[in-house]
Amino acid sequence: MTFCNIIDNERCCTSKTRHNINPATTEPNAEVPVSTREDVDKAVAAARAAFKPWANTPVEQRGEKLRAFADAIESYKDDFAHLLTLEQGKPLAQSYQEISMANTWLRAFSVMKLPEDIIEDNEERQVINRFTPLGVAAGIVPWNYPILLAAGKIAPALYTGNTMIIKPSPYTPYCDLKLAELGAQIFPPGVLQALSGEEDLGPMLTEHADIDKIAFTGSSATGKKVMASAAPTLKRVTLELGGNDPAIICDDVDIDAIIPKLTILSFLCCSQICMMIKRLYVHSSIYPRFLSAFTAHTATLPVGPGNQPETFIGPVQNSMQYAKVHDLYTQIDKQGWTPALGGHVPDADPGGKGYFFEPTIIDNPPADSRVVTEEPFGPILPVLKWDDEDAVIAAANDSKMGLGASVWSADLERATRIAKKLEAGSVWVNSHFDVAP
């Protein structure tokens, strides 16, 4: 299998290539292109040329193309699933789940209404609010969910009449290049393209004078750079950044019923999801029983390569993230944290053994601990006690991140009261990471 950029519906190779590695083995994957500024200019020119005809295509036909794209992905789901596990590391079952979610998003956006709202209508004037295409968009996709988060940018952009250039993460370029290659069979030239490259490719796109919109998913630190880079050309920017999501567990919950849900919502994809539960606040009256049940259930989750059927927790995706998570694990002994589960610190250099960590639960660490205040993006989770409702709300809100949060209680009135006081973009009751288009 070979991998190329997709520019104007053509497979385009580059003189320089690079490769990423399989995080379960650290063995090299296939070579991929390293795009130059010339490649970027060609892709942007093709996207600009395609924009007007695509924007003038009836929205119903654009929706039909998106549904055809979803059907095509579905027909290759086995190939995509195995390729995703190879490059990202997640278990094969979770790769299939990601593909299914991506197609759900593509199909859902393909039938959304784009209404024209009449704001004012009288003898003097009529004021209409319309949704009009912007132009050329670039989607910068992270390495944790490369298919889903590419689809989440492609679908709304193309449906609303824009053209899209996808830039996959250098750590996971393979599936996104194949998505664009498949899209070339469905969309007109220049409508959907993909460029692979190194760390300098992102700035080439965010700075480009003829790109109108940037959609970025990634870390808060990089998001700041994206915003600064896009400012001189006044691009519109959508940033979906990091999270340190709290979950508040009240004293009236059915522990046995919620433990399996909370375990998945804390350790899915090796905890490499921005909207995973990262801090677990448990009422002190149920804390011992909850912690015992939670650690016991987490201990049953198999760790291993994603191509093994029983695996639930695969490797951390790349060497950069492995080093960050490894540093956090080394703090367990240094800071005197108490592991209720796990805590083993693997080798700093895993060699050919892969980027694996055992799931680790830290028992009631200090509120100012790094494991509480930072986003680990790895399978280590603090569980903390609480007694006072106002105090736990303040603790949950004590973060510069505000992506998601949840409250778990049998009393919906109580849970809703707490949820309304949580400072997060999405707040759930008795659920978490429950997202849809």
Q: What are the residue numbers of the active site?
A: 240, 274
Q: Are 23 and 317 in contact (CB under 8 A)?
A: yes
Pairing of strands 10-12, 5-7: antiparallel
Phi and psi at residue 185, in whole multiples of 5°?
A: -80, -10
Q: Are 150 and 84 in contact (CB under 8 A)?
A: no
The 3-class SS string of the chain reads: CCCCEEECCEEECCCCEEEEECCCCCCEEEEEECCCHHHHHHHHHHHHHHHHHHHCCCHHHHHHHHHHHHHHHHHCHHHHHHHHHHHHCCCHHHHHHHHHHHHHHHHHHCCCCCCCEEEEECCCCEEEECCCCCCEEEEECCCCCHHHHHHHHHHHHHHCCCEEEEECCCCCCHHHHHHHHHHCCCCCCCCEEECCCCCCHHHHHHCCCCCCEEEEECCHHHHHHHHHHHHHHCCEEEEECCCCEEEEECCCCCHHHHHHHHHHHHHHHHHCCCCCEEEEEEECCCHHHHHHHHHHHHCCCCECCCCCCCCCECCCCCHHHHHHHHHHHHHHHHCCCCEEECCCCCCCCCHHHCCCCCCEEEECCCCCCHHHHCCCCCCEEEEEEECCHHHHHHHHHCCCCCCEEEEECCCHHHHHHHHCCCCCCEEEECCCCCCCC
DSSP bridge partners of 188: none
- Residues shown for the chain: 437
- At 93, the amino acid letter reads A
